[in-house]
């Protein structure tokens, strides 16, 4: 039995939506005080709705929670999870630093007014141009992912640049192989032996100031033990002023998922740090998915329903706005916004020309009909990030909702946008 078949109660459905999601007097879904079907009418579908209060609340839980447990610390938002200027602005306002992976995210963070000193640049294949841009814009820390980064930085830096060395901890968490990053042979970071060589080299540099180490084991990690093993691995490298422990905490996507809460994660990380790392070290963490996924909901319109042993409900989006399903087999849940919870087991499929374009294989939807709006919760992270123009799809808008007021912060692409880069 899939997790959805066991659900008939509206309360369980609402649990996956941002806190503050309610039902109106006719049972209609309301997100951030806005009626979901009104949002769909006003902004079209598919649309990514971000509950701004929920996002800010999660940022505060991370920031206040880490500061209370380990005062010499900072939470950095892994901006690859939803890189858009409005999100950079909101999370900077909440006091978070920002992890940028490459020139594009760096450009967006700076355009949003983020303080360059709070930025950390990552990347396993950074170019000269990206490193020059980072150094010239005053990025606080650059994470050295390999010896080529050191060669490049030695050439580019004129004054002094703070760096961390990314270490492969030899830890393979239980997650999809495509998003595991800490196993031996990973393309990210340096093996312990190579990291030691890099550390020695950096200690001899008069331009690159080695502050400490970085480690990141992957994404959608729900077990605690791999995080602890990663901390053990960096502790074994010696004492440093800074340890960046990466991100990776899993989000709750389905009724059955029970990932550690933000507070449980912070307890676990700081307890391990207390046991293994110098007590005066600065601790950084870089959550992406667990910070932002649960603040987002995608609204789709049903375009076709094919009846059969299991109804096929097709919507106007799919793998052009949510690649998590096809890339990682991530399971989501869904509901019709005007008939929330319960219903018959359906397959929710996208509009794209691949049989693999299924959004949910087995989800209870109540009396789905053409024209209905279907809401898929927990789509704040890595969905819009990887949105694409497959089949000429126009990438969706982002609409912030707060206290009953919607605010579109990114418009939908137009058909003209699809031609905009054409030269001939």
Task: Tell me which residues touch ligand PLP (CB under 6 A).
Answer: 78, 80-81, 99, 122, 216, 219, 246-249, 286-290
Residue among 81 and 347 whose Cβ is closer to ligand PLP? 81
Handedness of CA 2, 181, 355, 418 (dihedral sign): positive
Angle, helices 262-276/225-235, rounded to nearest 10 degrees: 30
Here the tokens at position 121 are: 């640049």
Residue among 46 and 182 whose Cβ is closer to ligand PLP? 182
Q: Is 54 helix (H, G, I), strand (E, B) or coil?
A: helix
Residue among 43 and 70 whose Cβ is closer to ligand PLP? 70
Residue among 219 and 379 whose Cβ is closer to ligand PLP? 219
- Residue pair 347/358 in contact (Cβ under 8 Å)? The answer is yes
Alpha-helical (H) ranges within 143-191 are 147-156
Burial of 69 (0-12, 13-18, 19+ CB in 10 A): middle
Tell me the closest approach of the beta carbon of residue 123 to ligand PLP, in angstroms.
Answer: 9
Q: Is 191 helix (H, G, I), strand (E, B) or coil?
A: coil
Q: Is 349 helix (H, G, I), strand (E, B) or coil?
A: strand
Report how far residue 296's alpha carbon sits from residue 272's, in angstroms, rounded to the nearest whole number. 31
Tell me the closest approach of the beta carbon of residue 78 to ligand PLP, in angstroms.
Answer: 3
| Catalytic annotation, pick one of 34, 346, 353, 383 | 353
Tell me the closest approach of the beta carbon of residue 120 to ligand PLP, in angstroms.
Answer: 9
Tell me the closest approach of the beta carbon of residue 265 to ligand PLP, in angstroms.
Answer: 10
Residue among 100 and 401 whose Cβ is closer to ligand PLP? 100
Task: Determine whether 353 is an active site residue.
Answer: yes
Query: DSSP labels for 86-148?
Result: HHHHHHHHTT-EEEEESHHHHHHHHHTT--GGGEEEE-SS--HHHHHHHHHTT-SEEEE-SHH
Tell me the closest approach of the beta carbon of residue 167 to ligand PLP, in angstroms.
Answer: 12
Catalytic residue numbers, as ranges = 353
């Amino acid at each position: 039995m899939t997790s959805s078949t066991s659900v008939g109660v509206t309360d369980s459905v609402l649990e996956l939506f941002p806190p503050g999601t309610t039902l109106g007097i006719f049972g209609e879904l309301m997100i951030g005080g806005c009626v979901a079907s009104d949002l769909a009418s006003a902004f079209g579908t598919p649309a990514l709705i971000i509950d701004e209060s929920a996002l800010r609340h999660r940022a505060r839980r991370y920031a206040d929670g880490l500061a209370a447990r380990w005062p010499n610390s900072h939470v950095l938002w892994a901006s690859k999870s939803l890189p858009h200027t409005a999100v950079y602005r909101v999370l900077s306002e909440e006091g978070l630093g920002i992890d940028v992976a490459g020139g594009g995210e760096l450009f967006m963070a700076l355009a949003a007014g983020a303080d360059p000193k709070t930025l950390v640049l990552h990347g396993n294949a950074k170019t000269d141009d990206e490193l020059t841009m980072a150094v010239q814009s005053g990025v606080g820390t650059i994470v050295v992912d390999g010896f080529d980064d050191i060669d490049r930085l030695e050439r580019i830096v004129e004054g002094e640049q703070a760096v961390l060395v990314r270490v492969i901890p030899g830890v393979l968490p239980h997650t999809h192989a495509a998003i595991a990053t800490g196993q031996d042979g990973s393309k990210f970071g340096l093996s312990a032996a190579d990291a030691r060589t890099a550390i020695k080299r950096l200690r001899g540099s008069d331009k690159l100031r080695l502050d400490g180490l970085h480690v990141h084991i992957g994404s959608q990690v729900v077990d605690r033990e791999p995080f602890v093993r990663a901390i053990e691995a960096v502790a074994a490298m010696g004492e440093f002023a800074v340890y960046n422990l990466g991100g990776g905490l899993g989000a709750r996507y389905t009724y059955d998922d029970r990932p550690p809460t933000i507070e449980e994660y912070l307890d676990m990380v700081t307890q391990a740090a207390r046991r293994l790392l110098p007590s005066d070290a600065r601790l950084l963490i870089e959550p992406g998915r667990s910070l932002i996924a649960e603040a987002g909901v995608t609204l789709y319109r049903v375009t076709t329903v094919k009846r059969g042993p299991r109804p096929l409900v097709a919507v106007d989006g799919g793998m052009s706005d949510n690649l998590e399903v096809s890339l990682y087999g991530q399971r989501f849940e869904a509901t019709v916004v005007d008939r929330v919870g319960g219903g018959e087991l359906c397959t929710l499929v996208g509009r794209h020309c691949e049989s693999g374009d299924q959004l949910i294989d087995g989800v209870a939807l109540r009396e789905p009909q053409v024209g209905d709006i279907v809401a898929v919760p927990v789509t704040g992270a890595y969905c819009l990030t990887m949105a694409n123009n497959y089949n000429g799809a126009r990438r969706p808008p982002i609409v912030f909702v707060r206290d009953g007021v919607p605010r579109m912060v990114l418009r939908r692409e137009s058909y003209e946008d699809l031609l905009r880069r054409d030269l001939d």
